[in-house]
Structure 1
Amino acid sequence: MPNPKKQTPAKKERKVNSGPIREKARTMQKMVDAVGTVLQTQGYPGLTIANVTAQAGVDRRLVSTYFGNIDSLVATYLKQNDYWETTAKQNIDLMLQHPDRLGKAEIIGLLQGQFDAVMSNEVMQKTIHWELGEQNKTLRELADRREDTGEPVLRALEKNFANTNIDLRAIIALQISGLYYLSLHAKANGSTFCGIDINEADGKERISKAVEMVVEMVYEKEG
Structure 2
Amino acid sequence: MERKSAAGSIRNKERSKKKFLDAVGEILKTKGYAALKINDIAATAGVDKKMIYTYFGGMDGLMDEYIRSQDYWSKMTPGDTAPNFDDHGRAFAKELLLAQYDYVHKNKEAQKLLLWRLSEPRKSLKKMTDTQEENGEALFKFVADPFFGERAKEYRAIMSILVSGLYYLNMYASLNGSIFCGIDLNTPEGRDTVKKAISFLVDQTYDNLNTKQE
**TM-score when scaled to structure 1?**
0.86
From 89, 97, 104, give the equivalent of 2:90.
104
Partners of 2:175 and 2:151 in 1: CA distance: 39
The change in CA–CA distance for 1:214 and 1:123 in structure 2 (over 3 A counts) is same
From 148, 153, 172, give the equivalent of 1:161.
148
From 158, 161, 165, give the equivalent of 1:174.
161
Partners of 2:15 and 2:25 in 1: CA distance: 16
* Residue 98 (structure 1) shift: 5.6
The change in CA–CA distance for 1:66 and 1:202 in structure 2 (over 3 A counts) is same
Partners of 2:2 and 2:153 in 1: CA distance: 65
The change in CA–CA distance for 1:129 and 1:53 in structure 2 (over 3 A counts) is same
Partners of 1:71 and 1:19 in 2: CA distance: 27
| Match in the other structure for 2:53 | 64
Amino acid at match of 1:182: L
| Match in the other structure for 1:81 | 70
Partners of 1:122 and 1:44 in 2: CA distance: 13
| Match in the other structure for 1:220 | 207
- Does 1:190 pair with 2:174? no
| Match in the other structure for 1:6 | none
Partners of 1:20 and 1:190 in 2: CA distance: 47
From 22, 27, 34, give the equivalent of 1:45.
34
Structure 1 residues 118-173: Cα deviation after superposition (integer angstroms, max 9, x where no partner): 11111111110000011111101101101111111111212111155871101101
SS at match of 1:17: helix
The change in CA–CA distance for 1:23 and 1:214 in structure 2 (over 3 A counts) is same
SS at match of 2:183: coil
From 150, 154, 158, give the equivalent of 2:136.
150
Report which of the two structures shows the higher radius of gyration computed on alpha carbons.
1
The change in CA–CA distance for 1:15 and 1:141 in structure 2 (over 3 A counts) is same
Structure 1 residues 80-127: Cα deviation after superposition (integer angstroms, max 9, x where no partner): 1211133x33xx314557655542100000011111111111111111
The change in CA–CA distance for 1:62 and 1:154 in structure 2 (over 3 A counts) is same
Amino acid at match of 1:127: L
The change in CA–CA distance for 1:82 and 1:163 in structure 2 (over 3 A counts) is closer
**TM-score when scaled to structure 2?**
0.89
| Match in the other structure for 1:5 | none
5 Å matches for 1:24-43? Answer: 24-43=13-32
Partners of 1:59 and 1:138 in 2: CA distance: 23
More helix per residue: 2
Q: Which has the higher contact order (CA 8 A, sep 6+)?
A: 2
Partners of 1:71 and 1:161 in 2: CA distance: 39
